[in-house]
Amino acid sequence: MLTILQQLKISCLSSGIRITKIAENKLSNGGSVPLSIHEYATTGGVTMLLEGGIYINAPFDEWYCDSPEAILTLEESSDEYVVHFRGNDFHAELLPLPGYLEMNDSDGNPVKDTTMSHADRVRISPIFGCSFKCEFCDFYKQRYVCRPVKQILEGLTIARKDKLLPVKHVVISGGTPSQRDYGYIDEVYERVIRSSDIPVDVMLAPRKDDIIDRLADWGIYGYSINIEIYNEGIAGRIAPHKKRIGLDQYAATIARAVQQVGGQGRVRSLLLVGLEPEESTLKGVEFLAQLGCDPVLSPFRPAAGTPLEHLRPPTTEQLENIYLKSLDIVEHYGVKLGPRCIPCQHNTLTFPIKNGGYYYS
């Protein structure tokens, strides 16, 4: 049985939120500050913290936000933000955008080219563009560029000093490198991990070398090895490079990562909810859970300029069904729905269940 706050989050993930003019005016400081930075499909909303530690990244200006149930407004008597939902009012804390969005590094490069903070995590993106072509993502359309290691490290240093949105851990993400750039990306991994005084996760696709072991030697905290589409037929059509890797290689890589750092949420794999039948997604949840890996359920959001830009996100009913059935699966295998970091749950189908092994970094 879902609580009303869980229903609220799921509704926002499916159909977004409406922001009233009075709330928009305060959030944007009279229009001088953007409400959101649309640098990635699943983070292009306003991020809110509601009671019980429930974080929500709620889209508000996308085409599919045409009839949201949730309404964000400003309570004038208290000057606090309130979310109206199904006859209930919930006080909300709105998380700001990072304070370095207009800053440049010492070489004049915009910090936001490589660095972006969400909730308590900073994501650094060494590679702009991507060697993979997935129809749900627009990265492959960008000109493929490996950014200088110095730029990566300086951007991270600047983000670590940000007072508006302090960060407590790092994820190295961005586009998937081509094989010719493994040396470059491995240098980034090693230098960031070894120099960081906060935990570092790496998001990467399976490789046939010993990168999983070397990352552990350098001191990695966690791995994010994302399958995204479990059904191989569907993956072949919309994520052909991932299909080429194959589920066997994913299983071997994930199992090796679990051997290196153990379970407890330190190895995760993301499944996009809404791009394959429910039964297929649930098979993917079980495939991951039996490896000791935390499945992460990420509701699909259409990205502009992609072949799937006009495909609606999954409905609230679909998300609720998959969430509840997935809970039974992960409990059976002794893992959790990830991520276990509570603020990082803002755009995933996950909740900070009491005594459930979830934490603040």
The tens digit of pLDDT for each residue in 338-356 reads 999 999 999 999 999 877 7
Q: Is the dihedral of CA 69, 52, 322, 269 positive or negative?
A: positive
Peptide bond into 343 cis (omega under 30): no
pLDDT value of residue 136: 95
Q: What is the pLDDT of residues 124-175, one digit of tens each?
A: 999 999 999 999 998 878 899 999 999 999 999 999 999 999 999 999 999 9
Nearest one of 272, 174, 263, 282 to 223, comparing CA atoms? 263
pTM of the model: 0.96
Mean pLDDT of the chain: 96
Q: Quote the tokens at residue 46.
A: 């306003």
pLDDT value of residue 10: 98
Distance, CA of 284 to CA of 299 (rounded, Å): 14
CA 157 to chain centre: 21
Taking domain 111-347, whether its CATH number is 3.40.50.1980 is answered by no
Is the pLDDT score of 333 beyond 90? yes
- Give the residue extent of every domain in the chain: 4-94, 111-347
